[in-house]
């Protein structure tokens, strides 16, 4: 019968699928959006770039350490050749995205970053790679329904048809660590149920072990030991291992809900703890507009969304002492009134209290265009010791704070590329130099770069001038900034 959709637990009639709706989601998502502002049938999924999404069973997922290394090396070599080639890249970009999706884990995360962070892919290739890599945010190969159903039984104690009044067995999204289903609780609440891909924990652990091999090689032969690469790797391992713990993510999501409960522009969905475990996360369903959609809307609307994004990121940094270190575009659901629903609390970087003091000082000084105070606070935060490196580091950080020191500021993609290029130049300059005053990045600050480049790339695509200083003035007041230590 036309219009019948198989929803686990029931069969019900429904309208034919419309193509003017889409669903966006990523691994860390606790809520997923039906774009277009209206509720769509559970299977109403539009893909911007039509691809056949394959199914990967738990037995076919590459999990062995050396198998994954060799496959990743093959993908990297093929992509490297293409990036050096002047010819068209669309087919090569598609193949690279498909291969990264099959690997899942860290490989897919690299592809997700390449889909939106400016400066990673050469400008002549960026359009093709962005087009295909962004499919990894929600359209990566799926785990089979039979594997997922068994995982739900193992984690929650019952099969989904016995736990929910409705459960659509077709996922609305699939990415590097898990995939998401729409369901309805017995009480009638629409929810998003995120389930880890079977076998992904072992695959991710082997990726992290392989990263240790790569780090030691680079440290020995490429001079990277000077940058404290081993310690940075340990920091990365801790964050990525935490992403596999959905119970921890549920706890952090509730912490962010409390931090922003009085901020009307920010919405963080409720967690349904009775349907959660270390490998299953269930939260309220949300709907709104996608990032690609809002980038085409009126400037006044884009300004409002950019203000809300800045408020969310830096209120969490400066007042909450933590930040979401995975700021890619699929983690936001946009609403017409300037409100945003924020998703993905799997990768959270805590900030030590004494560093929060210095960060507040830097933000206050940049906003008040007090360069002397800004540099004093930056020296403390980065533990600088003088010399040529301090000079370069302070110039770089000053460039990063231009949206505040020159507010209102039009943050553009060329500006983000400029920052990335400055960072690359610093690495090249200080990789082998001596007696330059170099100091390794202090503990807990590595993921600031991921936030900086990723978040700024998101704002650059909104492409509007914004008074970021005025936005910060609403939540970071003078009495919250301790300037006494800089006197």
Average pLDDT, the chain: 78
pLDDT of residue 52: 43
Torsions phi, psi for 335 (to 5 deg) = -120, 150
**Cα(173)–Cα(112) distance, rounded to whole angstroms?**
14
428-452 residue pLDDT tens: 888 777 878 888 888 888 888 878 8
* Residue for token pair 């490196």: 389
* Residue for token pair 């637990």: 9
273-304 residue pLDDT tens: 999 999 999 999 998 999 999 999 999 999 99
* Residue for token pair 């609390």: 345
pLDDT of residue 424: 87
Most confidently modeled range among 47-51, 64-68, 468-472: 468-472
321-364 residue pLDDT tens: 999 888 888 889 999 889 999 988 998 999 999 999 999 999 99
Instruction: Give the DSSP H or E segment for 266.
Output: strand 266-267
160-197 residue pLDDT tens: 999 999 999 999 887 778 888 999 999 999 999 999 99
pLDDT of residue 362: 97
Pairing type for strands 173-174 and 166-168 reads: unpaired
Cβ atoms < 10 Å from Cβ of 257: 17
Higher pLDDT residue, 143 or 153? Answer: 153
**Cα(453)–Cα(224) distance, rounded to whole angstroms?**
21
In b/e form, how buried is each residue of 106-142, taking b as 16+ CB within 10 angstroms? bbbbbbbbbbbbbbbbeeebbebbbbbbbbbbbbbbb
* pLDDT of 389 above 70: yes
Cβ atoms < 10 Å from Cβ of 166: 20
* pLDDT of 53 above 70: no
* pLDDT of 111 above 70: no
**Cα(246)–Cα(154) distance, rounded to whole angstroms?**
15
Higher pLDDT residue, 263 or 83? Answer: 263
Q: What predicted TM-score, i.e. pTM, was given to this entire model? A: 0.77
Q: Which two tokens stand for residue 19?
A: 């193509």
pLDDT of residue 93: 61
Q: What mean pLDDT do residues 103-130 have?
A: 62
Q: What is the DSSP string of 10-23?
A: EEEE-PPPPSS--E
* pLDDT of 471 above 80: yes
188-235 residue pLDDT tens: 999 999 999 998 888 778 777 766 555 454 444 444 555 666 777 788
Q: Which two tokens stand for residue 274?
A: 């009775």
**Cα(303)–Cα(334) distance, rounded to whole angstroms?**
12
Q: How large a percentage of the chain has pLDDT more than 90?
A: 48
pLDDT of residue 238: 87
Least confident of 5-9, 125-129, 163-167, 469-473: 5-9
Give the length of the chain.
Answer: 487
pLDDT of residue 123: 67
Helices (H), 34-159: 65-84, 90-103, 105-114, 123-133, 145-156
Q: Give 62: exposed, middle or buried? Use CB within 10 Å, 0-12, 13-18, 19+.
A: buried
Helices (H), 31-64: none
Q: Give the 3-state DSSP-derived string for 69-89, with helices as H, strands as E and coil as C.
A: HHHHHHHHHHHHHHHHCCCCC
pLDDT of residue 270: 97
Higher pLDDT residue, 73 or 20? Answer: 73
* Residue for token pair 């996360």: 281
**Closest C-alpha to 461, from 78, 19, 50, 130:** 130
Higher pLDDT residue, 140 or 202? Answer: 202
2-40 residue pLDDT tens: 332 344 343 333 333 333 333 334 443 334 444 333 333
């Amino acid at each position: 019968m036309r219009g019948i959709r198989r929803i686990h637990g029931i069969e019900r009639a429904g309208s034919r699928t419309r193509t003017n709706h889409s669903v966006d989601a990523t691994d860390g998502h606790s809520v997923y959006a039906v774009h277009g502002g209206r509720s769509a049938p559970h299977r109403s999924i539009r893909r911007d770039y039509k691809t056949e999404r394959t199914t990967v069973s738990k037995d076919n997922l590459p999990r062995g350490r050396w198998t994954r290394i060799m496959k990743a090396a093959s993908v990297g070599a093929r992509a490297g050749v293409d990036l050096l080639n002047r010819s068209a890249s669309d087919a090569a970009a598609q193949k690279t995205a498909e291969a990264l999706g099959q690997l899942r884990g860290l490989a897919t995360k690299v592809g997700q970053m390449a889909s939106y962070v400016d400066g990673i892919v050469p400008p002549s290739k960026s359009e093709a790679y962005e087009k295909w890599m962004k499919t990894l945010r929600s359209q990566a190969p799926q785990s089979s329904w039979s594997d997922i159903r068994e995982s739900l039984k193992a984690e929650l104690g019952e099969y989904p048809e016995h736990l929910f009044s409705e459960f659509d067995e077709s996922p609305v999204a699939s990415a590097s660590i898990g995939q998401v289903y729409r369901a309805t609780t017995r009480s009638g609440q629409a929810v998003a149920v995120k389930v880890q891909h079977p076998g992904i924990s072992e695959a991710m652990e082997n990726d992290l072990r392989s990263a240790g091999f790569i780090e030691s090689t680079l440290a020995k032969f490429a001079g990277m030991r000077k940058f404290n690469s081993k310690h940075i790797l340990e920091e990365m391992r801790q964050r990525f291992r935490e992403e596999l713990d959905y119970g921890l993510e549920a706890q952090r999501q509730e912490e962010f809900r409390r931090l922003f409960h009085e901020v009307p522009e920010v919405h963080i969905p409720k967690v349904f703890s009775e349907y959660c475990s270390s490998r299953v996360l269930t939260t309220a369903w949300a709907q709104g507009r996608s990032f690609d959609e809002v980038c085409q809307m009126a400037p006044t609307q884009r300004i409002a969304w950019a203000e809300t994004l800045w408020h969310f990121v830096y209120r969490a940094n400066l007042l909450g002492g933590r930040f979401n270190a995975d700021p890619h575009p699929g983690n936001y659901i946009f609403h017409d009134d300037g409100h945003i629903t924020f998703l993905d609390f799997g990768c959270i970087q805590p900030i030590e209290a004494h560093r929060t003091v210095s960060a507040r000082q830097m933000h206050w000084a940049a906003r008040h265009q007090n360069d002397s105070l800004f540099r004093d606070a930056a020296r403390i935060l980065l533990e600088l010791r003088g010399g040529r490196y301090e000079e370069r580091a302070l110039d770089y950080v000053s460039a990063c704070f231009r949206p505040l020191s020159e507010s209102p500021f039009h943050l553009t993609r060329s500006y983000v590329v400029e920052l990335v290029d400055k960072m690359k130049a610093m690495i090249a300059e200080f990789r082998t130099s001596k007696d330059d005053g170099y100091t390794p990045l202090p503990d807990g600050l590595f993921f600031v770069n991921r936030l900086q480049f990723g978040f700024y790339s998101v704002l650059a695509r909104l492409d509007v001038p914004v008074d970021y200083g005025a936005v910060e003035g609403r939540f970071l007041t003078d009495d919250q900034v301790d300037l006494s230590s800089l006197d």
